[in-house]
Amino acid sequence: MGERMVLEIKGLSFSIDERKILKNIDLKVEKGEFIGLIGPNGAGKSTLLKCINGINKAEGSIKVKGCEISKLDGRKIAREISLMHQDTLITFPFQVIDVVLMGRYPHNGRLKGESLEDYEIARRYMKLTETLELSERKITNVSGGERQRVLFAKTLTQETGIILLDEPTASLDIAYQEQIFDYARELSGNGKTVIAAVHDLKIAARYCNRLILMKDGIILADGKPAEVLTAENLKSAYGVNAIIYRNSITGQMDFYISKRNGEKKGTVHVIGGGGSASGVMRYLFERGYTISSGVLWSGDSDLRFAEVFGIKCIKCDPFCEISEEIYQSNVALIKESEFTIISNMPFGNSNIKNLEAALNAKRLVIIEDEPPEIRDYTEGKALTLYNELKSKAIVTTSARLHEIL
């Protein structure tokens, strides 16, 4: 276990002009980890990265492979740790290949030119970052995204065991964002240790095998993505109300940041199904209404939504008829609610009972985005009931729901 430890930080503190940026940080990193450093702006992520490779002279102990970093000279550190900076701007017109080759600086003497081997290493990483064709272009004449990839290639050309990335995807479009993280993960699979400051929590959750959440210079949480990205942690780090769920389409962790404030509004019961009610429920949730919903069948995305958002819900087993018992509990919820909404849902023989239940509504709102005829799968049976309901309801569309609620 001890041999796998590549980085050990104990009691690290760092201040600028008496202001403490990092407070007593302890951290152990093992070989092959891919760590995402997350946290709000000003949490100290970049500062911590710069402490690790000795740019910031911090108090406390930082050991790389057992060696205290303050005792190593710059070149030795640069052979163990590389750092890709956030905002490197090169104003002198170097050729791209020459910039990448500067990554070999800590490996070569002052007077030694770059060997063919150095060129091979540089070219290998340029190919990987798809910058090989920029090779002879001037660094001052490439786009921001291209420059970022060139600097990534330079960082890799340094060939260090520990790679620190300070928001490596800041100016990259989505295709290359994914690519850099893909590649960083591959590197960690090959025994390199990668620590990246990341803004995008979704990407961090997807690629990193460990996340460290920082705020105000301390580590708030440290562990597997699912352990760190909890609503509670995000609340204390970012001050947001996050709803965390597994995206049923991608199977990946996802967030919804709610702007709902404490304000309480009335109660609404939503009758939906087939995904027709999610948008309505999200709207009502943000407005502060207390929502209930039903009857929804297991497996329906509306039910999934209600569960993730903690909405009270009457459910029913898939493909089953609504039993009398379930029907009655739904009616009970409708009677309690100030409003009942029928979403732009499809009508089938199994959910016709939901329309019947709506007859008990105190105030009924019907959302009609599409004509009911094309949503009817009961050969007109449901339509009769629907039109009856319509006669005593306020009819609107999703887009104009805000006029009523």
Partner 1 sequence: MNRNLSSAEKNNRNAETQGKKLMSILPVMLLLLAASVVVATAVGDVYIPFSDTVRIILKKWGLLKNIEFSYGHEAIIFNVRFPRVITAVLVGGALAASGTAMQGMFRNPMADPGLIGVSSGASLGAVTAVALGLTVKSLYFMPVLAAFGAAITALVIYLLAARDKKVPVLTLVLAGIAVGTFISSVTSMILMSLHQQNQIKEFLFWSIGGLNDRRWEHVKLIALPVIICVLIMMFFSKDLNILLLGEEEAQSLGLDPVKARRGLLFLASAATASAISVGGNISFVGLIVPHIMRLILGPDHRVLLPASFFGGSVFLILCDIIGRVMFPVEVNAGIITSLVGAPYFLYLLIMARKGGNLL
| Closest-CA residue to 389 (of 340, 350, 351) | 340
Among 20, 79, 363, 381, binds partner 1 (CB under 8 A): 79
For residue 6, what are the CA distances in angstroms to 29, 79, 162, 188? Answer: 6, 14, 8, 13
Among 36, 39, 44, 54, binds partner 1 (CB under 8 A): 54
| Closest-CA residue to 80 (of 165, 211, 192) | 192
Residue 147, interface with partner 1 (CB under 8 A)?
A: no
Among 11, 42, 66, 93, binds partner 1 (CB under 8 A): 93
With H, G, I as helix, E, B as strand and everything else as coil, classify residue 97: helix
Residue 374, interface with partner 1 (CB under 8 A)?
A: no
For partner 1, the closer CB: 134 or 401:
134
Q: Which stretch binds partner 1 (CB under 8 A): 106-114, 234-242, 290-298, 328-336?
A: 106-114
Q: How far is the CB of 219 from partner 1 (least distance, A)?
A: 23
Residue 171, interface with partner 1 (CB under 8 A)?
A: no
For partner 1, the closer CB: 44 or 346:
44
Q: Which stretch binds partner 1 (CB under 8 A): 52-60, 240-248, 262-270, 357-365?
A: 52-60
Residue 324, interface with partner 1 (CB under 8 A)?
A: no
Residue 128, interface with partner 1 (CB under 8 A)?
A: no
Q: Which stretch binds partner 1 (CB under 8 A): 15-23, 63-71, 94-102, 388-396?
A: 94-102
**Mutual angle of helices 116-128 and 144-157, in 10-degree steps:** 130
For partner 1, the closer CB: 123 or 210:
123
Pairing of strands 34-38, 193-197: parallel
Residue 105, interface with partner 1 (CB under 8 A)?
A: yes
| Closest-CA residue to 164 (of 187, 139, 182, 141) | 187
Answer left, alpha or beta for residue 23, where phi above 0 means left and psi between -120 and 50 means alpha: beta
Q: How far is the CB of 35 from partner 1 (least distance, A)?
A: 18
For partner 1, the closer CB: 132 or 240:
132
Residue 191, interface with partner 1 (CB under 8 A)?
A: no
Q: How far is the CB of 193 from partner 1 (least distance, A)?
A: 16
- Asked if residue 295 has a cis previous peptide bond (ω within 30° of 0), the answer is yes
Residue 230, interface with partner 1 (CB under 8 A)?
A: no
For partner 1, the closer CB: 149 or 269:
149
Among 102, 128, 218, 395, binds partner 1 (CB under 8 A): 102
Confirm if 54 and 60 have CB atoms less than 8 A apart: no
Residue 77, interface with partner 1 (CB under 8 A)?
A: yes
Residue 255, interface with partner 1 (CB under 8 A)?
A: no
In sequence order, which residues have a C-beta less than 8 Å from that of residue 348 and are 6 or more positions away?
377, 378, 382
Q: Which stretch binds partner 1 (CB under 8 A): 111-119, 167-175, 242-250, 273-281?
A: 111-119
Going across the sheet that includes 363-367, the strands are 312-316, 290-297, 267-271, 339-342, 363-367, 394-396
Among 1, 19, 92, 175, binds partner 1 (CB under 8 A): 92
Strand partners, 241: 258
Residue 220, interface with partner 1 (CB under 8 A)?
A: no
CB atoms within 10 A of CB 19: 8
For residue 322, what are the CA distances in angstroms to 241, 268, 328, 381, 384? Answer: 35, 21, 10, 17, 20
In whole angstroms, give the CA distance from residue 66 to residue 95: 38
Residue 83, interface with partner 1 (CB under 8 A)?
A: yes
What are the two backbone dihedrals, phi and then psi, of residue 263, each rounded to the nearest 5 degrees? -55, 130
Among 3, 17, 41, 110, binds partner 1 (CB under 8 A): 110
Residue 168, interface with partner 1 (CB under 8 A)?
A: no
Among 123, 147, 269, 353, binds partner 1 (CB under 8 A): 123
Among 1, 16, 89, 175, binds partner 1 (CB under 8 A): 89
Burial 315-347 (b: 16+ CB within 10 A, else e): bbeeeeebeeebbeebbebbeebebbbbbbbbb
Single-letter amino acid code for the residue at 34? F
Burial 140-151 (b: 16+ CB within 10 A, else e): eebeebbbbbbb
Interacting residue ranges for partner 1, rule: CB under 8 A: 50, 53-55, 73-79, 82-83, 85, 88-95, 97-99, 102-103, 105-106, 110-111, 113-114, 116, 119, 123, 132-133, 135-136, 140, 158
